[in-house]
Amino acid sequence: MRSRLGKGLLAAVLIAPLAFTGTAQADSPGNSVRKLVRAVKGENVKRHLKVLDLIGKANGNTRVDGTRGYDLSRDYVATALRLAGYKVTIQPFEFEFEGYKTPPVLQRTAPEPKSFAHVTEFNEVGASAAGAVTARVQPVDVVLPPPATPGSTSGCEAADFAGFTRGDIALVQRGTCGFADKVANAVAAGASAVILFNEGQPGRTTARVNPAIGENVPVPVFFTSFGVGNELATKPGTTVKLSFDKLVETRTSYNVLAESRWGDDDNVVMAGAHLDSVQPGPGINDNGSGTAGVLEVALRMAGHKTANKVRFGFWGGEEFGLLGSNHYVANLSAEEKAKIALYLNFDMIASPNFTYEVYDGDGDVFGTPGPEGSARIEKDFQAFYTSRGLPYKASEFDGRSDYKAFIDAGIPGGGLFTGAEKIKTEEEARIWGGTAGVEYDPCYHAPCDTIKNIDDTALDVNSDAIATLMGTYAYSADAVDGIRTADPRRTAVARVSGDGHGHGHDKAELS
Ligand SMILES: [Zn+2]
């Protein structure tokens, strides 16, 4: 049964594609690409984002895989592409959903009630146990203000817990020994829950750390920013309520694939974006932005009878470890892989405090080049920015997003990025504007990644970049893929790259 919102959205989709009819006439490729780029308008890209934002709002502020918010996102994209004339395939796959039933809570109940913000101020540690605890907080050998250089030994020795009251919540500062040791000592001392907090030196302040706490920890464990930990430690008589309503179960997610009914089957030019969000937020920058840019370009390309076949992938399960794109590539035959001339990936293309970043396809900056042809893609993106008089920098081509499966299969890859949880430098602020000392996306993976978390200029410019490269390669990809693409001799490159987790934020830290 569809909700009222579902019907409304579907109606919006049914009406909207009337505006998406491309211009289908014989034209020079260069002219066609220029027309395509002109037809891709920022305001129309933004319209897709508004729909995704509404879907998030109506579905518990998330579009994570295995929820109604994801399924409606899938339906929106699939319906629009179908109505535009593409051959659309929905590819389901099962995955292990790891999250929660209700959002994690961290509140101070005394001396002065206060709620802390999930993701930006605190995070549950997924490997810990479910639980709801209200108890007194006991700081364990914390050093406040923090030492000038990392060196706190809070919770590293069993002796730190001498005098610890069983049933209290242990408040433990990062530093020196492993998180797993600190947690094991707290559990042995009878802590009902453990709050780990960042140590406090520059670069060690945020709540965005995923501590490796070991297995079978029997109590809930949270990680907070230095600010929250400091606040809890320094107010005498602090009690806290925390809850982690953990949920782990097998669910189904989906890739959406759309392919042109025209063009050379042996020369498939692909672009893709992940369609899922994390559970804590609706993911409008991450990755509504890439989704909307690729979708709008696809809709505007419909009807351009290009020489090559074009295919668009909207991936599920990226945030659970690049699952959808891995599933897709793993199920291609060697012949099908060889027919894919190249793959362009777009993940976070409109960060509010953005820089323009191009994947380092030739490896000259980060030392990990992509398959042959990736260098050319990078140059073509750079040429796009140069043509607009815009500065760009290299983005590490490290397997942090859905291009990983493609480049691992030897398919030339490239793409764009505008920054996530890292901090913009003074120099970057001079070059691109925005605010130094602040994250490129302060709402990265957070509940506030809504329609307000988008830079409209970056969204518009980068959508034009997608149109420029997809349009160009749809007429000829030979410059990238000089070897005929049907050649099954194209071999996979061995790479040591990412851990297969969304943007690497999930990478567990040992200490
Ligand atoms: Zn992403």
Structural tokens at position 497: 């790259």
What amino acid occupies position 470?
Answer: M
Structural tokens at position 235: 């107010």
Q: Which of 25-34, 179-188, 425-434 has the lowest mean pLDDT?
A: 25-34
Secondary structure (H, E, C), 314-355: EECCHHHCCHHHHHHHHCCCHHHHHHEEEEEEECCCCCCCCC
Q: Is 216 exposed, middle or buried, given 0-12, 13-18 or 19+ CB atoms closer than 10 A? A: exposed
Cα-to-centroid distance, 281 and ligand 1 (Å): 12
- Cβ-contact 369, 375 below 8 angstroms: yes
Structural tokens at position 172: 């433990």
Average pLDDT value for residue range 101-125: 97
- Average of per-residue pLDDT values in the chain: 92
Cα-to-centroid distance, 111 and ligand 1 (Å): 39
How do residues 10-67 score in pLDDT, each as one tens digit? 445 444 444 334 444 557 888 999 999 999 999 999 999 999 999 999 999 999 999 9
Cα-to-centroid distance, 248 and ligand 1 (Å): 22
How do residues 257-296 score in pLDDT, each as one tens digit? 999 999 999 999 999 999 999 999 999 999 999 999 999 9
- Cβ-contact 276, 319 below 8 angstroms: yes
DSSP letter, residue 188 = H
Cα-to-centroid distance, 403 and ligand 1 (Å): 12
pTM for this prediction: 0.90
Compute the distance between CA of residue 489 and CA of residue 487 in angstroms, rounded to an integer.
5
How do residues 407-419 score in pLDDT, each as one tens digit? 999 999 999 999 9
Q: What is the pLDDT of residue 9?
A: 52
Cα-to-centroid distance, 416 and ligand 1 (Å): 12
Beta bridge partners of residue 272, listed in sequence order = 313, 345
Taking Cα atoms as reference points, which of 221, 217, 224, 212 lies closest to residue 510? 212
Cα-to-centroid distance, 193 and ligand 1 (Å): 31
138-167 b/e with 16+ CB inside 10 Å = b?
bbbbbeeebeeeeebebbbeeebbeebeee
pLDDT at position 213 over 50 = yes
Those residues whose C-beta lies under 8 Å from the C-beta of residue 202, and which sit 6 or more positions away, are none
Cα-to-centroid distance, 319 and ligand 1 (Å): 7
- Cβ-contact 350, 459 below 8 angstroms: yes
Please say if 112 is a catalytic residue. Answer: no
Ordered by where they begin, the domains of the chain are: 24-98+249-509 (3.40.630.10), 104-244 (3.50.30.30)
pLDDT at position 368 over 60 = yes
Catalytic residue, candidates 318, 378, 396, 428: 318
Cα-to-centroid distance, 289 and ligand 1 (Å): 9
- Cβ-contact 119, 281 below 8 angstroms: yes
Cα-to-centroid distance, 276 and ligand 1 (Å): 8
